[in-house]
């Protein structure tokens, strides 16, 4: 949670549901290189297979492995969530902006119907900010790494829709980037649909630690290349367009804050200064 003020009684924070709270005994993060955003969480499960494998859990597993890999290389990494909790998009973005993150990667797994075209290569989709060359460059690097790392696994066919590759999705009405986790952050940001929960073969892979690690390695290796090289990336495809207003989910409606631990009263002056949501 973003820290608004440090008090004698604790840290004044903006909660995931955009309320104010004073949290006692909070540990603080002063800086970060990369924010990894495991999509969904809590009551927002994302895609779910017929036998109960939930996207929210896969997203978190991959993010935590990627955090470990990057930390071993000296990067400071922060996740927008570390447990199965719902964090609205506005709060996820606030975390990255408050830490002045240099890069944000939102991790997802596509859920599709069986009519998606088949491919002999992984159909990873990486959506970048249409007006950011650095976001685009990272998307191309992540696509390259995903094809290499995931392509090592031998299955009969992958799912690969028309957006397979590095691309952007635009709201045709507003001209803005469609996905909130791409549109809103100040840092270069991408949203990656790493693989497909709609493909039974890929689901079986996603149940294996080896494949989850391969996805995490694709992310971590792309991050390292983005920071340490001028590589341009590849796999860029034509943008797609939509008339929808948002990517669905991630709003504040019905938001319930998680347990914040021990809290203290908020001074009246700070209530007035920061305002209650």
Please tell me the distance from the alpha carbon of residue 216 to that of residue 95, in angstroms, as a whole number: 21
pLDDT value at residue 109: 98
pLDDT value at residue 277: 46
pLDDT value at residue 275: 74
Structure tokens, 164: 């397979």
- The values of phi and psi at residue 67, to 5°, are -60, -45
The total of other beta-carbon atoms located within 10 Å of residue 125's CB is 26
Q: Output the CA–CA distances (angstroms, integers) from residue 174 to 1, 26, 180, 243, 244, in the order listed.
A: 30, 40, 13, 9, 10
Contacts (Cβ under 8 Å, ≥6 apart) of 24: 9, 10, 261, 262, 263, 264
How is the chain split into domains, by residue range? 1-25+262-277, 29-250
Match 């989850």 to its residue by tokens.
212
The beta strands (E) that lie in the chain are given as 3-7, 10-14, 20-23, 34-38, 77-79, 103-110, 118-119, 125-128, 158-159, 165-167, 169-171, 189-196, 240-242, 263-264
Divide the 277 residues of the chain into consecutive groups of 10 and give the mean pLDDT of each group: 93 94 92 97 94 96 98 98 96 96 98 88 98 98 98 96 96 95 97 96 97 98 98 97 77 89 93 76
pLDDT value at residue 220: 98
- Residue among 246, 224, 233, 229 at smallest CA distance from 66: 224
266, 20 in Cβ contact below 8 A?
yes
pLDDT value at residue 26: 87
207, 51 in Cβ contact below 8 A?
no
pLDDT value at residue 113: 77
pLDDT value at residue 243: 87
pLDDT value at residue 114: 75
Q: CATH number of 29-250: 3.40.630.40, 3.40.50.10800, 1.10.150.20, 3.90.1170.50?
A: 3.40.630.40
DSSP tag of 33: S
- Residue among 218, 183, 214, 221 at smallest CA distance from 92: 183
Structure tokens, 24: 């006692």
The pTM for the full model equals: 0.95
């Amino acid at each position: 949670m973003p820290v608004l003020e440090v008090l004698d009684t604790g840290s004044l924070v903006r909660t995931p549901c955009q309320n104010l709270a004073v949290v006692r005994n909070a540990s603080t993060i002063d800086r970060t290189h990369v924010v990894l955003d495991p999509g969904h969480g809590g009551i927002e499960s994302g895609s779910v297979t017929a036998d109960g494998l939930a996207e929210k859990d896969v997203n978190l597993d991959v993010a935590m492995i990627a955090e470990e890999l990057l930390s071993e290389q000296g990067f400071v990494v922060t996740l927008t969530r570390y447990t199965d909790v719902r964090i609205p998009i506005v709060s996820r973005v606030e975390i990255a902006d408050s830490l002045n993150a240099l890069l944000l990667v939102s991790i997802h797994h596509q859920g599709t119907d069986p009519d998606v075209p088949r491919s002999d290569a992984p159909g990873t989709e990486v959506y970048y900010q249409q007006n950011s060359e650095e976001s685009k460059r990272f998307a191309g690097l992540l696509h390259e790494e995903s094809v290499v790392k995931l392509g090592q696994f031998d299955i009969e066919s992958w799912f690969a829709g028309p957006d397979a590759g590095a691309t952007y999705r635009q709201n045709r009405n507003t001209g803005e980037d469609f996905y909130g986790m791409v549109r809103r952050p100040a840092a270069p940001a991408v949203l990656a649909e790493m693989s497909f929960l709609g493909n039974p073969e890929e689901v079986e892979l996603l149940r294996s630690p080896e494949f989850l690690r391969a996805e995490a390695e694709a992310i971590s290796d792309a991050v390292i290349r983005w920071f340490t090289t001028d590589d341009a990336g590849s796999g860029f495809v034509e943008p797609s367009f939509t008339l929808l207003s948002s990517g669905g989910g991630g709003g504040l409606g019905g938001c319930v804050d998680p347990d914040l631990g021990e809290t203290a009263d908020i001074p009246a002056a700070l209530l007035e200064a920061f305002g209650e949501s």
